[in-house]
Chain A
């Protein structure tokens, strides 16, 4: 028996192309996901140097950030259109598979990877997008890269990386009814801060993580970057295997069981040692709402907005004051008293079928508050089709939600789906940064259930107090 290893070390060791003491390793990349925003300059770089894409078949592209979610083929913004046209042109020239705007597999890159079975345990996965950490839910080592690195991976199928430190985020106990993976990751970031993961790859372990669905694990891993960690993952288990069986790009049935047994062996060994460990108990977690301008600024639904005078640290006080000012909030007021004007259910964090099903269960038979404009943006064309098959679109539409086409949409408001300045949005996305959903827009991050409940009530409300028909 060799030294016990974490899943992170096992994946790393299988991908080292070149190692030299005191230098970063040259790491092989198994899957390179590409979208329209962070790739044009990389392809241009290749062209200028006369370089080719080394492994087009390990590369997969889609369009998500810029795509309109209504009237999809009428792209009013010419620069957006140019960026999408450019991706089409680049994929044709460099022979890269592309799910374009009208393709049935189009969607948010971090939703379609798992959906198509491209995302698999043990793979090294990169994309020019910080939420690439999502794919870690499958026991893959997946992280976001910049455009220079996109060009590097296109040209060489490798990347220079220093071996990361490992961080075990151990979640014992179980989430209560109405408390979701989103609440858990917000609570983790709320407790440990927006940079506790910097320099680390996180592995999420413990009973509460094992009991999460694959969708829940994706939500958790997705927001690893909001804790500073480029990658966050969960050891593969039977749930991982079951999710992938039969997917389009998963191994064929004849080889599947054999390969799945190799995947399961990647799970962290019992006595493996991490560089650091933090713990949190899921039993204690309540539905969360962010009040400020980074994801660590969150409170339980029954909490009050913090008072800057309760801290002696001057920098912290300034930060709270700045956030309160931007968000237009008063210290010490209950978050449940804050009215909202917008609801966004979508994004790579929370736009999968399971997310939409849970949100729909809250709003079924109810009406969106007249002061609220609420939109649902499925994560992919496949999610949209599956939801429509179940009639979820009708539930949303009858309640007064707008039912949109697939894309990143209002998470970063690049496609024209914008929250106006000074207005407030309950959003299932991942970043409540200043201006994220539009200049001056005020974002509150919540779970799909909490967003749905806020849409009905016109303000934040504890979803656990609503009468919900049992499924």
Chain B
């Protein structure tokens, strides 16, 4: 009995009346050969479940679903997705009229799919199979800047080198930007910390670094921080490693710096 049913599920299937089902079917066909062993396992479970299911179709169906998914551990991820889809086809055949599917709102009705629904479905599948592809890519974790005070007039940026490394940027470049934005002077000390003249809070550095990342690190097209900054005949270019796009970035200019402090030093 289970055999018959399986054949029907895979081979024949005249039932579909909507285009997306065909897609589903394709996927099933692709993973067919690998699935054969699983199918045999599934037969047993199915017969079991059907015999149970005589009492109430609802619980039976549910059980079958679970067991099939369990058996599909043998196959790889793609197989799993396919199997789940297969499940749905099976359910469509059996559970006609009964609305068992909270997952997809269109199932059980003849209406057209809406864009949002299909989009959501695609993203769900993507997320299940390989979560790193879908959703939030903007997980560039940067540790907050650690700042010490050296005396009363100097500030030490302790994890400056770390941050440069996480951003994959030359410390020189980052330093030039920081100093230009802060409007002061500074230098690297013996332990590769940045010493800046003036009193600054960690929050100040954070804001500037954020601007730096937006301007010189993040790729505009795909928002990925995997970029390389290179200098080609006096111009800085940013090339993205993920999507291959490139753009030019503005050179760092300090702009006008007013004279602060005693005047008789220069003249």
Do A and B truly interact? no
User: Which residues of B are at the interface with A, using a C-beta cutoff of 8 A?
Assistant: none
